[in-house]
Chains A and B, each alone.
Chain A
């Protein structure tokens, strides 16, 4: 596995020069700047003030932006490498497919995870500078949640890249997965719930299988341990799962899914024609 670190390192170096990386870093850095300018740390909404409010807004925006950025940039770079024969050349060197695949994944993970974490820490530093307390528990949980959301969407992106060879189809599929997880599943489940055809427990179980939903619940649970903002469903979730399990689930389930998707992608990569 001597080449795994080499592939990861070179992927990071390559990404740091790529235009998408600058846009990505600018979006998250810019978000923080926007929050400072708009005075989010100074405002009070529904009892949330200062740093808590800043982090809450940041995490809500992250739910929308992070998945689509990871999906699009990852499938785009892998499929364009294949179409432009970069993959053909790089894999004509004695590197195992395992080293190449997992090295690329590790490199890509570093480049999508760190800008968001850096933006988070810049926000916290600003909040502390403005007189807030250092919210260690919140920072730890948010870092863990961002880690887990990066894992699951990177896993999905690598799976799509190995399944689909066409650049356009891969991009289309990425958009579909994103919009499905972000909104369509919830809309469909709300419809089912209103019709009373399926048991509520089943609907909630399906909703919680959505990694974005798990992330969302985890993020809310830290500010609002009773989950009052999500209404009566909160009683069911907290009674049946408990607060601790819910938090563990929100962090670990997306990581588990991400690893599963990535492993599935690797199996396809190994078993199918590379080009």
Chain B
């Protein structure tokens, strides 16, 4: 069963073609490393999967649903970690309320996942998210994404703000997920996610130039 189906996807910004006739499927259970130089179209493709962009051509389906027209249904099953933790001004308690009410993910589960990343949330619940350190923010975003138990996990350079120990814990957590899911890791270095992925896709100038199973 394919969780993502992209067919002839084309997207331009200000006349520059950022995605150029991209066709690819990601099956349930596949863990993909998406690589390529800056401007290759990796983040744009992921954002299109998340329903942020109206495509110029082609189609994207996530579990058979259009990410733009059926965004709620699509996003119910996607856990996303952005490249840089955004400066969200909500307090941790408010952010957890937002996640719980919008996705159904239990706050206790997020706290558990945070503890597994060695992040103690309890002493910081009234603190605004943006005031946490870079590493703490990234750990919390990871905890939230994993607590959602989504069938598709999308990580845009997830370990950029983590120290080596935290990276190890993150990899162990991913390994311990006990349900079937797919994941996409956007990364510049394959060696960072090598043990976690079973497929690598290389993009350049908006095209998929290499796609192989590991």
Contacts and interface: CB of A to CB of B under 8 A. Distances in A.
A136 interface: no
B53 A92 contact: no
Complex A-B, nearest 8 residue pairs according to Cβ-Cβ distance, in ascending order: A94-B75, A92-B80, A86-B86, A85-B86, A94-B76, A93-B102, A94-B72, A89-B86
Interface in B126-176: 128, 141
Contacts of B86: 84-86, 88-89
B19 to A, nearest CB: 13
13 contacts: A10-B94, A14-B94, A84-B87, A86-B86, A89-B82, A91-B52, A92-B78, A92-B80, A94-B73, A96-B71, A97-B71, A273-B52, A274-B51
B88 A6 contact: no
A275 B52 contact: yes
Nearest to B72: A94
Contact of A3 (B47, B88, B91, B101): B101
Interface secondary structure of B, over-half rule: mixed
A2 B73 CA distance: 15
A13 B90 contact: yes
Interface in B86-111: 86-91, 94, 97-99, 101-103
Given A14-B89, A84-B86, A86-B88, A3 B102 contact: yes
Interface string A81-112: 00011101111111111000000000000000
A275 B82 contact: no
A274 B67 CA distance: 12
Contacts of B84: 85
Nearest to B95: A10
A197 interface: no
Contacts of A2: 101
